Amino acid sequence: MKYLKYMVIFSILVARGAYAVAPAFGDLAVLLAKGCFGGYVKQDVSLEQCAAFLNSKGICFSLFDLMDTNKAVTKEDCARVVGQSELLFSGEAEVVNGCINKPLEAKTWVDYCLLNDIDLEQFWGQVVQRTSEGSLPEVKKFFGK
């Protein structure tokens, strides 16, 4: 039932055009690092430093995803980084091959967030709002825009 609620909200936002400019992976990395890990990451760090910090903690961002400015972040991508962050903060993170693994009780990262009452929609809404007029300055600077 919770999943249905989130899907309805997600569908309404899409229908209203809230995703006119889809967030890129670089935007997600910067917002996650400076927002959720603001106590560990200075606010003036670059996209490269944000991604390196997150990857060092097991919250994995692929170089290919970061370099493709046309590849939009999906809800599952967002759920993965939020779920990995939650596991890291709780001390329950199991890191395998440099990335925090999804616990076996959940089929997907979206399911993990739902099962653990993680407000994925609030975080996703903030990402979409912050990138509604284009990529963040750190991302633009990285790509020389």
For the cut 50, the answer to whether the pLDDT of residue 28 exceeds it is yes
**Could you tell me where the DSSP H helices lie in the chain?**
2-15, 25-31, 47-56, 63-67, 75-90, 109-115, 120-130, 137-142
Pull the structure tokens for residue 40. Answer: 């560990």
63-111 residue pLDDT tens: 999 999 889 899 899 999 999 999 999 999 999 999 999 999 999 999 9
The model's pTM: 0.82
The 3-state DSSP class for residue 100 equals strand
pLDDT at 138: 92
7-11, 29-33, 52-56, 141-145: the lowest-pLDDT one:
7-11
If residue 95 lies in a helix (H) or strand (E), which one and from where to where? strand 95-96
pLDDT at 5: 41
